[in-house]
């Protein structure tokens, strides 16, 4: 049986950081390993762990967006460059589509808002660990509305048909954008978990990506769903 998820927090608001520490400390599914008021120390810890031990110090980083020393967007981009397998969940007050899209394009595996209930936060972070890419339905809707309002696809984009995605692969990709985990996609589409994984492997190959975050990012940037 796998152990609890190892969590690190990067949040400059002392009061809110303390509340997150308490939340994770009381949950048996999570183990709080580190908590930082700014990104540089977190980045240094990842670098040190990879250099000294050849492994990641945590499973998931919960990342604020607005911080004085370095933004969460830049920190996410750097963390993903250092350790693509490290999950990053943005947790912020911002629900503006542009901020959401920028975070996803930087490599965030999920985007949650601070006003969400404690159970929603824990479920969203667990979904990331299970292979999902949670965007609340409201957040996902805002991003898609923004992209559609911008007009034609960005330069270099390809239509879904030209990427040779099958109808079912498009369905799976759409549910990933909606933030569902692999199991939730299977339940939503009435197919097996193994079939979902096979479709996702094909999606990764056709989109030339390597994980859910990259797939969602490309789907949003090029309006594939």
- For residue range 74-118, what is the model confidence (pLDDT) as tens digits? 999 999 999 988 999 999 888 777 777 788 778 888 888 888 889
- For residue range 143-184, what is the model confidence (pLDDT) as tens digits? 666 655 554 444 444 444 447 899 999 999 888 877 777 888
Between 74 and 139, where is the model more confident?
74
Q: What is the pLDDT of residue 157?
A: 47
Same-domain pairing of 129 and 42: yes
Question: How far apart are alpha carbons 18 and 215 in whole angstroms?
Answer: 33
Q: Could you tell me the pLDDT band of residue 140, with boundaries at 50, 70 and 90?
A: low
Residue 51, domain extent: 5-144
CA 195, 200, 201, 202 torsion-angle sign: positive
Contacts with 213 (C-beta within 8 Å, 6 or more apart), sequence order? 80, 104, 107, 108, 109, 133
Q: Are 24 and 77 in contact (CB under 8 A)?
A: no
Q: Could you tell me the pLDDT band of residue 43, with boundaries at 50, 70 and 90?
A: very high
Question: How far apart are alpha carbons 191 and 214 in whole angstroms?
Answer: 23
Same-domain pairing of 45 and 133: yes
Q: What is the pLDDT of residue 64?
A: 95
Same-domain pairing of 125 and 18: yes
Q: Nearest to residue 42, comparing CAs of 67, 25, 15, 24?
A: 67
| pTM (predicted TM-score) | 0.71
Q: Is pLDDT of 7 > 60?
A: yes
Count how many domains the chain has: 2
DSSP 163: G
Which of 144, 165, 188 corresponds to the end of one domain?
144
Question: How far apart are alpha carbons 59 and 72 in whole angstroms?
Answer: 17
Average pLDDT, the chain: 83
Question: How far apart are alpha carbons 62 and 13 in whole angstroms?
Answer: 13
Between 219 and 158, where is the model more confident?
219
Same-domain pairing of 25 and 113: yes
The per-type count for the chain, helices as H runs and strands as E runs, is 10, 5
Q: Are 110 and 132 in contact (CB under 8 A)?
A: yes
Q: What is the pLDDT of residue 144?
A: 60
Q: Is pLDDT of 196 > 60?
A: yes
Same-domain pairing of 107 and 17: yes
Ramachandran angles phi, psi of 42, nearest 5°: -65, -45
Q: What is the pLDDT of residue 131?
A: 75
């Amino acid at each position: 049986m796998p152990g609890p998820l190892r969590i690190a927090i990067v949040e400059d608001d002392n009061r809110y950081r303390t509340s997150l520490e308490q939340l994770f400390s009381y949950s048996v599914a999570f183990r709080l390993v580190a908590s930082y008021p700014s990104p540089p120390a977190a980045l240094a810890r990842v670098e040190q762990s990879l250099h000294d031990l050849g492994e990641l110090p945590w499973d998931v980083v919960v990342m604020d967006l607005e911080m004085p020393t370095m933004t969460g967007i830049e920190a996410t981009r750097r963390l993903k460059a250092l350790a693509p397998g490290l999950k990053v969940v943005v947790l912020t007050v911002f629900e503006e589509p542009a901020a959401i899209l920028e975070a996803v394009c930087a490599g965030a595996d999920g985007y949650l808002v601070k006003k969400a209930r404690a159970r929603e936060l824990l479920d969203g972070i667990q979904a990331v660990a299970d292979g999902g890419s949670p965007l609340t339905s409201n957040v996902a809707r805002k991003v898609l509305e923004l992209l559609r309002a911008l007009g034609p696809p960005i330069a270099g984009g390809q239509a879904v048909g030209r990427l040779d995605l099958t109808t079912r692969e498009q369905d799976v990709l759409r549910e990933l954008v909606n933030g569902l985990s692999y199991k939730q996609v299977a339940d939503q589409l009435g197919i097996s978990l193994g079939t979902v994984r096979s479709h996702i492997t094909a999606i990764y190959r056709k989109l030339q990506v390597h994980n859910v975050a990259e797939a969602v990012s490309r789907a949003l940037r090029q309006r594939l769903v």
